[in-house]
Amino acid sequence: MLPVLEQPATHFYVALSGGIDSVVLLHSLCALRASFPQHQYSAIHVHHGLSANADSWQRFVEQLCGELDIRLLVERVNLLKQTRTSLEAVAREARYGVFVKHAQGACVLLAQHLDDQLETILLQLKRGAGPAGLAAMPVRREDNGVTYLRPYLALSRAQIEHYAYAHDLRWVEDESNQDVRFDRNFLRHEIIPRLAERWPQMADNAARSAQLCAQHQALLDEVLQEKLVGLQSQDKTLSINGLHAQPERWQSALLRSWLAQFGLNPSAAWLLNLQNQLVSRQDGMPEIKLDGRVIRRFNQRLFCLLSSDLWQINQTIKWQGEHAVSWDAVPVLLTNIRCNQQPLEIGNAPFSLRFTPVGELQSKPLNQWFKQWQIAPWLRQQTVVVRAGESVIALAIAGEKWRLSQQALDWQFKADISRQ
C-alpha cells in the first residue's frame, strides 16, 4: 500500500462492496492516511439491487465508514439484462460507470488479489484469449479520466484473511459468491483448490505469465500504433487499401488496434465477420454493429461511427414565415429563416431532384452531386433540402454550411443552421 500513497496529492476512492477484500483495503488505507495528509480519502459503494441483502450491505458500509471517519458515496444502479451479455458483465459496466461519474481525475482503489488474478487468467484461457486477455488485470490502468489501482494484486486471499482476523474486522458475505453456476465461483471453489493442492505456486506462476503477456502485448501495441499512423487519417478513418497492403498476419491485429481507439474489444468471430463483410468485399454497403458503434465503409475507408450519430431527416415541413424549423429526433435547428418567396418545403427530398449550385453551369440530380462531393451515404440522409415545389434552392449536409443556388440568392434566402 505504501508505494501507492507515495505520490503527489490526489483523491483516493476505495471501491467498497463490504466484502472482506474491500474492507481490509479500506482499513489498511485508514491506518496509513495520517502519514500521507496530502491526499483526500473516500469510499464508493455501488448498490446493484441484485441481492435481497443489498440494503443491509449498504447499512453496513455506512456504519463502517462512520467508524473510520471516511466520506462515503452510495450510488444505486438499475441493471438491464442485455442479450448475450452476462448479468455479471452488466453489473461490472454499471459499477465502472459510477466510478467515472464520481472519480474524474482521481484514483479508484480496487481490492482484487492474487487468487482473483488466477481466476481471471483461467477464464481468459477458457475464452481462447490472446496475449491481451491473458495479461489479465493490470496493477494500474487509466480509463475515461480515472486511474484504477490494484495494490493487493501480489497478495493472496489467505494473506488478506489473516489481516482481517488479526484486526478483528467485520465484513459481509455475498451469498452469490457460493453459487458455482457462475464460472468464476466454479473455478474458485471446485478447480483452483485442487490446482493449489497439486501446485502450491500455481497462482504466483500464473501471475508471472500474465506479466509476460502484458509486456509482449505492450511491445506489439507499439508496433501496431506505428503501422496505424500510415493507415488512418486525422478523422481516424482506416484505409482499406492500406490494410490490404499489409501482410495477412498483421491485418486482424491492426483492425483490433484501430477498434480499440473507440473502446471496442471484439471477439475473434466478430472481427472475422468484419473482415469478410467490409474489408474483403467491395459490393454493397453493409454495416456491422458493436457496443453502440457502427462500422461502415465508404471510398475505400472504414468509419467507426456512434449509433447516435446516424440520425436521419424523414420529414418535410412547409415553411410560411416561421422564425425556426426543427424535426423530431433530429439534432439540427434552423433559426432566423428569411426568404422573399413563400411557402417553401424544408427537410428531406428525393435525391432525383435536380440542383444547380452557385458557380456551377450544370444542373444535376442530388445523388450525382453527392457522389461528386464524396458525401458518405449516411450523411446524405442528414441533408436539409430547401425547395419550392420541384426546384431545390439550397441544401445543407449534416448541419454544415449552406450550398445555395442562384434562385436562393435572388430570393434572399438566409437561415442560421446549428447542431443541438
Can you give the CATH number for the domain in which 275 is found? Answer: 1.20.59.20
Q: Provide the pLDDT for residue 93.
A: 87
142 and 242 co-located in one domain: no
Q: Do 301 and 244 share a domain, yes or no?
A: yes
Provide the domain count of the chain: 3
Residue 106 has a pLDDT of: 94
125 with 189, same domain: the answer is yes
Last residue of a domain, one of 291, 309, 327: 309
- Residues 75/98, Cβ–Cβ less than 8 Å: yes
One-letter identity of residue 386: V
Task: Pick the last residue of a domain from 247, 278, 309.
Answer: 309
Please check whether residues 135 and 16 belong to one and the same domain: yes
Let me know if residue 218 belongs to a domain.
no
The reply to whether 37 falls in a domain is yes
CB 373 within 8 A of CB 365: no
Q: Is residue 222 part of a domain?
A: no
- Give pLDDT < 50 ranges for the chain: none
Residues 256 and 140: their CA atoms lie apart, in Å, by: 22
Examine the domain organization and report whether 189 and 298 are in the same domain.
Answer: no
Residue 417 in any domain: the answer is no
Residue 201 lies in a domain: yes
pLDDT at 286: 83
pLDDT of residue 202: 94
Say which amino acid occupies 136.
A
In this predicted structure, what is the pLDDT of residue 307? 92
Q: Identify the pLDDT of residue 83.
A: 54
CATH of the domain at 196: 3.40.50.620
What is residue 81's predicted lDDT score, i.e. its pLDDT?
62
The pLDDT value given to residue 277: 86
Domain that holds residue 272: 235-309
Kindly state whether residues 369 and 261 are assigned to the same domain: no
Q: Is residue 303 part of a domain?
A: yes
Q: Confirm whether 419 is domain-assigned.
A: no
The per-residue pLDDT for 7 is: 83
What cell does 329 get?
A: 429526433
Tell me if 220 is assigned to some domain: no
Same domain, yes or no: 104 and 158? yes
- Domain end point (choices 290, 309, 328): 309
Own/partner pairs for 287-290, CB < 8 Å, 24+ apart?
290/264, 290/266
| Residues 198 and 243 grouped into a single domain | no
